[in-house]
Amino acid sequence: MKIGIPKEIIADENRVAMIPRTVGELVKKDHQVLVEAGAGERAGYADEAYTEAGAQLVDGAAELYEQSGAVVKVNRLSHHPELGKHEAELLKPETTIVGLLDPLNNPGNLQQLVDKKLTVFSMEFLPRITRAQSMDVLSSMSTVSGYKAVLVAAESLPRFFPLLMTAAGTIPPATALIIGAGVAGLQAIATAKRLGAKVFSFDTRPAVKEQVESLGARFVEMELEEEAETESGYAKEMSEEFYRRELEAIGNQAERSDIIISTALIFGKKAPILITEEMVENMQYGSVIVDLAGSNGGNCEVAEPGESVVKHGVTIHTPLNLPATLPYHASQMYSKNMSNFLSEILQDEAQGYDFDNQVVADTCIAAGGEIRNDLVRNALQGKDE
């Protein structure tokens, strides 16, 4: 198959979908890989490295899309500023497109792909099964986000992170609260501990307490009468009483914290508000919040997605794409995940895609002009209404 790797065109996106090393692995498996000239430059990967790996350089997105049977991207397709067309218009009918396509937040974008009868694999829907762990781009990018979030907080905090014994006296360590102990949260805990902070972590799932404590953080507990996650391992919406207790537990710790990193997301839903404006008011002057749920509205009531603001003396960062700020390693991780995924779905190219394979079936949200995923279908119907 001819696999195309275009240059990402969304603002401030510095990652590339495939790096030279993994391109070389695909070439060895008899795939032809086309790379748009300059695709890897912002991530630190030169065109020469791609050609040395066996890729063919292509001058421009239009030619790349015209020649490719499958296109691998990082972000959703969007309007191309140089060509004056949407990327979907550049794709040939029945092409395969793979990436973090965010269909639930961009149903109109997806409709263009359906109308052209493209086969669409959206990596957000990768099943949480053992066999798919090596393909889990969401976990990889969450690792990057959790690490970088603490660095963002450290840069803004007008205090030291570690305990310091100086001639001018003893300086106590900063106190960090990490909300959510998923992949991003655990990486944030580990990073904050490395920088010397006293770290607390809150999560509604008692099962993660051991993981939190193994990293040297203290687990903030609350009384639970409901199961807080779905069978698939995602967080789920809870009752009003549960939510009230959750806010109480977070609020008690928040007012004693110098930094808060919030990572709570509910798949396919608006992010829950876990840091109220009252909590922000009660925090120490100069404290910092980094809200990693900005793409779904944010966990902080007064956050402004994509912006950094100061409210009640507290700096609130709500970045939308932290992995793009560490593009070299973020691309390396993403690329390896995608190489594993392509190896899975292209096992028998002549026979087409095996929809009895759970990895294929769950991630393929559209094929042959039809929506295959109920969540995505409902999102499209909601748009039409």
Angle of helix 137-156 relative to helix 327-345, nearest 10 degrees?
Answer: 170
* b/e 180-213 (16+ beta carbons within 10 angstroms → b): bbbbbbbbbbbbbbebebbbbbbbbbeebbebbe
**Is 21 a residue of the active site?**
no
**Is 328 a residue of the active site?**
no
Measured from the Cβ of residue 15, the count of other Cβ atoms closer than 10 Å reads 29
Alpha-carbon separation of residue 278 from 48, 210, 250, 283, 375 (angstroms): 54, 31, 12, 9, 35
Considering the candidates 68, 76, 136, 335, report the single residue annotated as catalytic. Answer: 136
Residue 131: burial class (beta carbons within 10 Å; 0-12, 13-18, 19+): exposed
Tally of CA atoms within 13 A in the half-sphere of 277 that contains its CB: 7
d(CA 349, CA 64): 21
In sequence order, what are the beta bridge partners of 288? 259, 315
CA-only gyration radius of the chain, Å = 22
**Is 136 a residue of the active site?**
yes
What are the backbone dihedrals phi and psi of residue 187, each rounded to the nearest 5 degrees, phi first?
-70, -35
d(CA 374, CA 359): 16
Considering the candidates 12, 133, 284, 347, report the single residue annotated as catalytic. Answer: 133
- Residue linked to tokens 């110098």: 258
**Is 56 a residue of the active site?**
no
At 72, list the tokens.
Answer: 């691998």
Considering the candidates 139, 295, 308, 358, report the single residue annotated as catalytic. Answer: 139
Q: Is 385 helix (H, G, I), strand (E, B) or coil?
A: coil
At 93, list the tokens.
Answer: 């009918």
Considering the candidates 67, 78, 205, 234, report the single residue annotated as catalytic. Answer: 234
Q: Are 121 and 345 in contact (CB under 8 A)?
A: yes
**Is 45 a residue of the active site?**
no
Instruction: Tell me the Ramachandran region of residue 59: left when phi exceeds 0, alpha when psi lies from -120 to 50, beta otherwise.
Output: beta
Considering the candidates 21, 128, 159, 194, report the single residue annotated as catalytic. Answer: 128
Give catalytic residues, as residue numbers: 128, 133, 136, 139, 234
